[in-house]
Structure 1
């Protein structure tokens, strides 16, 4: 049996490896806030940022797959991170638990559609 990422409300984010330059795909839970698309680099509260976050910081050009469409996007750290994180916790309370597990600030990443 295979796991259908899209049936579980996830997206596939493709980044370019910061060191290798190779493509990497990772399933993530998207958040839609104020008509904008976000992901949170929570790594379930691990002490370090996930690899995909380091990748997009080096190369913010990404590909987003939603199950019904594929589009190019540019990842960015929005200036209203704290407000967005609070809104994210309202949608998905588990993010508050992840933040409580770590001393790092969980990055909120906006995915700006390019195409």
Structure 2
């Protein structure tokens, strides 16, 4: 399982305080009711901090990948660097859980590569045009991550 960690030389500003405030509201809504915020399907992703070892939770837009699979994008609004949650996933891809549609699900993370990534990325941009805007804002290769339900009995 490989994560690319690519960074760019240009990009939009990373999300600031207003986005962090909004994320707090979105997390409360996801935990209470699940579902959508501003028309986007959101999940709450909990990773383990790669340096701190502490749980870190963030709301993310998700895209369907079939039974027991969800896709998320490490766009950081088109910033030149990857978001912290992506780096946490890269460090501990098997120590992840999501809350989606009111259900807490242990998952395993895998960054998509090559034609598989390109196909899913195209579908994501078709369904949510802001991701094409993020792609134009940076020269970084924006990671697409597949989250797959983990069998808790076998983990």
Task: Report the TM-score, using the length of structure 1 for normalisation.
Answer: 0.91
Bigger fraction of residues in strand? 1
Question: Cα deviations across residues 29-77 of structure 1 (Å, max 9, x unaligned)?
Answer: 0011455310000000011100000000000121010142001000001
Pairs aligned (count): 114
Bigger fraction of residues in helix? 2
Q: State the Cα distance separating 1:10 from its structure 2 match.
A: 0.8
Give the unaligned 5+ runs of structure 1.
none
Which position in structure 2 is the counterpart of 1:90? 126
Are 2:73 and 1:40 aligned? yes
What is the aligned-residue RMSD (CA, Å)? 1.5
What does residue range 60-71 of structure 1 map to in structure 2 within 5 Å? Answer: 60-61=93-94, 62-71=96-105
Task: Report the TM-score, using the length of structure 2 for normalisation.
Answer: 0.69
Give the unaligned 5+ runs of structure 2.
1-24
User: Which residue, 98, 109, 112 being the options, matches 2:145?
Assistant: 109
Q: State the Cα distance separating 1:78 from its structure 2 match.
A: 2.2
Which position in structure 2 is the counterpart of 1:19? 51
Q: Who wins on radius of gyration, i.e. which is larger?
A: 2
Stretches (4+) displaced over 4 A: none
1:14/1:26 contact within 8 Å kept? yes
